[in-house]
Amino acid sequence: MRVLIIEDEARLARNIAKALKETRSYAVDISTDGEDGRHQAFSNPYDLIVLDLMLPKVGGLEILASLRREGNRVPVLILTARDATQDIIQGLDSGCDDYMTKPFDMGEFLARCKALVRRTYDRPDPVVRVGELSVDTSSRIVTLRGRRISLRAMEYRLLEYLVLRAGQIVSKAEILEHLYDFNAESFSNVIEVHISALRRRLDTGSPHALIHTVRGQGYVIEETPA
Ligand code: CA
């Protein structure tokens, strides 16, 4: 999953980014002014935008309004010091999906982020099951036939994205766009490398592969009929 933080308090932005990255689910981009933030929001397929309201150049509500005007449905969580009821109503009326006021609790913030992303992928249950594989997107615990599987950060992030889209073909371009931030160094076969690492961890001892390659199109995770 990939998140954009539009926040002009650099230290706060870094703290939020760090907390999001520590969950292992998210690649994170930061924009520290409204103009750049709006540009990034339109340029990349984010799974979530964390939006401050009082920003240099272009305000948060204006960014939100322009996204919705263009039909962009990315989940937006407003994170702001403005806590008057009128501000909250205005934010919700402008098309934001959730609203938190500063100071805030980081644990609650992360839980709200996860809930918003699950909603985007139409997975209200935090535990996603594909055959004998179970991925708990809240605790990040992955089990296969009841046995816990430990994964590296990028393997988990990739698996979470694939299972949220289980049964659908996911292209390499989509994986790159959703799992890497714009500072990440990626090389041409990076996806293949992570896919094969993930397969090694998931498919050992199983008669049925879970991750399938669809030639020329990408990958799909689904249970193979016995
Ligand atoms: Ca601000």
Residue 224: per-residue pLDDT? 75
Distance 74 CA to ligand 1 centre (A): 21
Domain with CATH 3.40.50.2300 in the chain: 2-120
Domain with CATH 1.10.10.10 in the chain: 127-221
Q: Which of 120, 101, 118 is closest to 51 using CA atoms? A: 101
Distance, in Å, from the CA atom of 144 to the CA atom of 153, rounded to the nearest integer, reads 18
Residue 206: per-residue pLDDT? 67
- Predicted TM-score of the model (pTM): 0.92
pLDDT digits (tens, 9 = 90+) for 173-188: 999 999 988 777 666 6
Distance 14 CA to ligand 1 centre (A): 14
Q: Is the pLDDT of residue 122 over 70?
A: yes
Average pLDDT of the chain to the nearest whole number: 93
Give CATH for domain 127-221: 1.10.10.10
127 and 137 in contact (C-beta within 8 Å)? Answer: yes
Q: Which of 52, 27, 26, 22 is closest to 38 using CA atoms? A: 52
Residue 217: per-residue pLDDT? 95
Q: Is the pLDDT of residue 17 over 60?
A: yes
pLDDT digits (tens, 9 = 90+) for 204-217: 666 678 999 999 99
Distance 69 CA to ligand 1 centre (A): 23
**What is the topology classification, in CATH, of domain 2-120?**
Rossmann fold (3.40.50)
**Residues with C-beta atoms within 5 A of ion ligand 1:** 8, 52, 54
Task: Tell me the percentage of the chain whose pLDDT exceeds 70.
Answer: 96
